[in-house]
Amino acid sequence: MTATKKLYIKTYGCQMNVYDSERMSEALGGAGYETTDSPDGADMILLNTCHIREKAAEKVYSELGRFKRLKAENPELKIGVAGCVAQAEGEEIMRRQPLVDLVVGPQSYHRLPEMEARTRGGERAIDTDFPEEDKFEKLRSRPKARRGPAAFLTVQEGCDKFCAFCVVPYTRGAEMSRPVDRVMSEARDLVERGVREVTLLGQNVNAYHGQGPTGEYSLARLIRTLSDIDGLERIRFTTSHPNDMTDDLIAAHGECEKLMPYLHLPVQSGSDRILKRMNRSHTAESYLRLIERIRAARPDILISGDFIVGFPEETDADFQATMDLIEAVHYGQAFSFKYSTRPGTPAAERAQVDPDVATDRLHRLQALISRQQRAVQDSMVGREVSVLFEKPGRLPGQMVGKSDHLHAVHVADSNASVGEISRVRIEDSGPNSLAGVIL
């Protein structure tokens, strides 16, 4: 009987990397691996990396350095780098870090079992191709073990937008949508295993255009089709581009009961001059009019966004335009970052904003966003919300879950179970969560 090997995966970055890590774990499960929560004692370590933030590659090398001791203690330990840094830095990783046994890009991880076999034979393996075969179809089926009540489901990958600050088109490739039947099959499988909520993932998920039984499906049509699955109670999607927010998708927010009232719609800047320099292909005004249309379709929707401050050549007036847009939209949640150069992107070659100025702007923007987020949370007190309970809380009898607006909610002295959806009256708003009672 072959002994089970232990696999440790550390995941960086977005939800798509979380999904990819799950699939890599499943792929290697066929090669006799089971996951472990610690690198100590592992037979294989995989770093699933993200290339969005500054010095991402250097952070990977720093992390790899921590594993030298483990490699010395166990020469049979295999170490791999996956994800977007692997795609961008593949040969360089192999050259700079001899302890790395394999490097695999985000479009090739279905080949991990054969790569692992090659490393067991003494080879070093690298695969950063954009293969023609569908990696999702090549992966072994998800095991039928029970899952938590919420899951990610990738439906679209890649990006054709070529924003001036972003490496995704280079690391993830061109936009590709999974066929409808394969998405539906995976969704049904998840529901059979206990999932009640799925978040549809894509770099530009609302650019989805998968082939279905009666032609091409938009994201809205896919959502409506998924809504027919018995047992699937909630649907979300992320991340979207304003230019792909179509009429049918806006209408779906008002018409599809299972589509949750939460939308992450990054704008990045409120300055038309900076948006043009970013190659975003929309204006602040067109974004604001889009928000108006979405809220007309679903008045209670919570809007989330992304912002980059200190983009090359950003002036005080440009930054103020961003602050004005935030005031106009009133976000329920947002993610904000100080611009960091990504080698090979157009913006990296432009005049950079003074780092201290950028830091000051980031702090001011985050303070405004925090006030808005807290105001939205406080406004929930006294309201009834639907909560999907995901896990027990820290206190006896406490349960924690997510509201339809994606707020964390906890209830005390509850008889609720994981996977249950209950109506909850919100009674208190804390810094990062809401508290309520089940009705």
Looking at the predicted structure, is the pLDDT value of residue 355 above 90? yes
Record the tokens describing residue 35, joined without a space.
Answer: 């996951």
Model confidence pLDDT, tens digit, residues 195-229: 999 999 998 999 999 999 999 999 999 999 999 99
Least confident range of 124-128, 363-367, 389-393, 432-436: 124-128
Q: Which residues are annotated as a binding site for [4Fe-4S] cluster?
A: 14, 50, 84, 159, 163, 166
Looking at the predicted structure, is the pLDDT value of residue 117 above 60? yes
Mean pLDDT on 321-342: 95
Give the range with max mean pLDDT: 105-119, 331-345, 375-389.
375-389
More confident residue, 26 or 100: 100
Q: What is the CATH number of domain 262-379?
A: 3.30.750.200
> What is the pLDDT of the chain when averaged over all its residues?
91
Q: Where are the domain boundaries for CATH 3.30.750.210 in the chain?
A: 146-260
State the fold for domain 146-260: Transcription Regulator spoIIAA (3.30.750)
The burial class, CB within 10 Å (0-12 / 13-18 / 19+), for 171 is buried
Instruction: Decide: 326 and 288 in contact? Cβ < 8 Å.
Output: no
Looking at the predicted structure, is the pLDDT value of residue 323 above 80? yes
More confident residue, 298 or 25: 298
Model confidence pLDDT, tens digit, residues 150-197: 999 999 988 999 999 988 887 778 899 999 999 999 999 999 999 999
**pLDDT band at residue 1 under the 50/70/90 scheme:** very low
What's the pLDDT at 166? 86
Record the tokens describing residue 390, joined without a space.
Answer: 């995901």
**pLDDT band at residue 62 under the 50/70/90 scheme:** confident
State the fold for domain 5-127: Rossmann fold (3.40.50)
Q: Which residues are annotated as a binding site?
A: 14, 50, 84, 159, 163, 166
Q: Where are the domain boundaries for CATH 3.30.750.200 in the chain?
A: 262-379
Mean pLDDT on 17-23: 85
pTM of the model: 0.82
Looking at the predicted structure, is the pLDDT value of residue 125 above 50? yes
Three-state secondary structure of the chain: CCCCEEEEEEECCCHHHHHHHHHHHHHHHCCCEEECCCCCCCCEEEEEECCCCCCHHHHHHHHHHCCHHHHHHCCCCEEEEEEHHHHHHHHHHHHHCCCCCEEECCCCHHHHHHHHHHHHCCCCEEECCCCCCCHHHHCCCCCCCCCCCEEEEECEECCCCCCCCCCHHHHCCCCEECCHHHHHHHHHHHHHCCCCEEEEECCCHHHCEEEECCEEEEHHHHHHHHCCCCCCCEEEEECCCHHHCCHHHHHHHHHCCCECCEEECCCECCCHHHHHHHCCCCCHHHHHHHHHHHHHHCCCCEEEEEEEECCCCCCHHHHHHHHHHHHHHCCCEEEEEECCCCCCCHHHHCCCCCHHHHHHHHHHHHHHHHHHHHHHHHHCCCCEEEEEEEEECCCCCCEEEEECCCCEEEECCCCCCCCCEEEEEEEEECCCCEEEEEC
**pLDDT band at residue 84 under the 50/70/90 scheme:** confident
Dist CA 258 CA 188 (whole Å): 15
What's the pLDDT at 12? 85
CATH architecture designation of domain 384-438: Beta Barrel (2.40)
More confident residue, 22 or 136: 22
Least confident range of 19-28, 58-67, 166-175, 316-325: 166-175
Looking at the predicted structure, is the pLDDT value of residue 79 above 90? yes
Q: Where are the domain boundaries for CATH 3.40.50.12160 in the chain?
A: 5-127
- Whole-number percent of the chain with pLDDT over 90: 70
